Structure 1
């Protein structure tokens, strides 16, 4: 593979620089990649037959596409951190709002505290709405089969691809225009919950379906009802997966911009009341700051985007760590707790057995003269 890559680069350089009047970085990369695949297939064909050659070429295509996606992601992260490097080291960037920071103010004045508080408020309200609704809907889809549950599952799967602007327009038309409420953090939280809810429902549905049926059967064999089995067996068994589903939904909601723009408005002041007045979030603050022609505002915008990237990365790492345990697998603390409980039960059984044996021992009989 390394030889094919080196040969393709050399041939492409000869074509672009010496033989043909070609130029452009994109054309160079495309031609080099096509030549690499052809040379790699030719080299593999010397030792393998047709199906093996196709498998090796397909594996090379998949691996190269994965590397391209990783490179694009790394470029976005590095570029964002580089552009926001001037704003991130300042402590006031995290402890002040933009109420007193004008366009020509230095980076030592103003920050994104108002956006951080707004994001926390909006996500907290959205989680209060989405966690119970999402878990109840996922349990319904698994425990109540039928035509209606299949219809609900189809709607949920369709809503996972719902454009965020549609969710924002829906809340704007119903909650603000029709009902007369003002733009606020609550309206933004409702729009975000519309985007989070399908993610949580679908992921929770998959996790609950992975719970072994033998656990349900064992619970039913003990005379337990269906909903008691769900509460005491199914949900505790899938706890880590459900937590992962909630975290993934939260990561989706944190990065939404257009619903917040339509329903919460924009403000440079700190607003801790989600029921009244505009309330800005991190993605909306980054969007508004980067639009400014002032270099200090642009640096603050990229710094805000960097904070948002770190927050989303932390959420995905948490989801990955928690999602690594399948349904029924215990954490180390839970394993230690089970071991201590088993030892306690073993000692109790031994004490009970010894007491039972002593009670069954026959009493000594007196000998008559």
Structure 2
């Protein structure tokens, strides 16, 4: 009996739901609730200026977008004191320049990221990464002045829409490179190793496994870059001055965009022009919003299926 009593006394006590580190876990529960409150408070504080900006833009610019002429007419013949006019010339210019900028930036940015993640070793990779970091911190006006010095001063070319695209490319490439690089790093190495074990070459593994797996993240990075360059103003003012007529040729004459339309109309400082400023701002927000929806749709239906 004494042996049995000794075994019972030496057995570990049954769990009673009490914290081993001193009483009930009230402290951890309070910490969890405090962290939850702080997180939601930070979210609400960050949301306030966003809702304020969107609400103000919709209230002051929504009326312009409800007018059919806004989507079908340009500002040709419209003075600052005259009510009305459209923004089709600026919308077309913004979309054309964004498309050409993406056409140049996306292949360069994605291929650079693939090199840094999959092949980059030694001094060359460090130099490329360092140059991408430098481009990330360059202000838009510096990029515009650089292209102006090369395009206009050195070669003597005219200020045209394509020169704007070159400046915007300098701003978009680092965003695409860094976002794509991070997405490629998230691809598990097991996928690469399984492909290599089957005898698949490295370049085909990248094309068939790595890039498709991270495609949705790459699309997100491209959209972030587009959202940045579509709202830039300094390169447009320096390299592609505003015009009120429809112009779709990047290599001939001036070209209107929504940012330069906002700048030009705001400088008039008259109420009809100010109304068009809010309308152009809301139109730009709407275009970027639609591009983000399109990008999410493409990314969702382009994922690798198991």
TM-based fold match above 0.5: yes
In structure 2, stretches of 5+ residues that fail to align are 1-24
In structure 1, stretches of 5+ residues that fail to align are 1-46, 336-369
1:127 to 102, 106, 114: 102
> 5 Å matches for 1:358-369?
none
> 5 Å matches for 1:8-157?
49=27, 56-57=33-34, 59-107=36-84, 110-147=85-122, 148-157=124-133
Secondary structure (helix, strand or coil) at the match of 2:177 reads helix
- Deviation of the 1:79 alpha carbon: 0.6
Q: 1:215 to 1:289 in 2, by over 3 A?
A: same
Residues 273-325 of structure 1: CA deviation (Å, up to 9, x unaligned)? 11011112111211221222221111011000001111122233444566679
| Number of aligned positions between the proteins | 281
Counterpart in the other structure of 1:243: 219
Counterpart in the other structure of 1:21: none
Q: Is residue 192–residue 205 contact of structure 2 (8 Å, CA) maintained in 1?
A: yes
Compare relative contact order (CA 8 Å, sep 6+) and give the higher one, 1 or 2: 2
Secondary structure (helix, strand or coil) at the match of 1:137 reads helix
Q: Provide the C-alpha distance between the structure 2 equivalents of 1:122 and 1:104, rounded to a whole number of angstroms.
A: 29
Counterpart in the other structure of 2:145: 169
Q: Provide the C-alpha distance between the structure 1 equivalents of 2:55 and 2:198, rounded to a whole number of angstroms.
A: 57
Q: Provide the C-alpha distance between the structure 2 equivalents of 1:101 and 1:75, rounded to a whole number of angstroms.
A: 31
- Deviation of the 1:254 alpha carbon: 1.2
1:295 to 271, 279, 292: 271
- Deviation of the 1:68 alpha carbon: 1.8
Question: How much is the aligned-residue C-alpha RMSD, in angstroms?
Answer: 2.3
Counterpart in the other structure of 2:188: 212
Q: Provide the C-alpha distance between the structure 2 equivalents of 1:318 and 1:68, rounded to a whole number of angstroms.
A: 28
Counterpart in the other structure of 1:224: 200
Residues 51-105 of structure 1: CA deviation (Å, up to 9, x unaligned)? 7666654543442232122111111011111111332221111111111111222
Q: Normalization by structure 1: what TM-score? A: 0.70
Counterpart in the other structure of 1:252: 228
Q: Provide the C-alpha distance between the structure 2 equivalents of 1:54 and 1:323, rounded to a whole number of angstroms.
A: 38
Counterpart in the other structure of 1:353: none
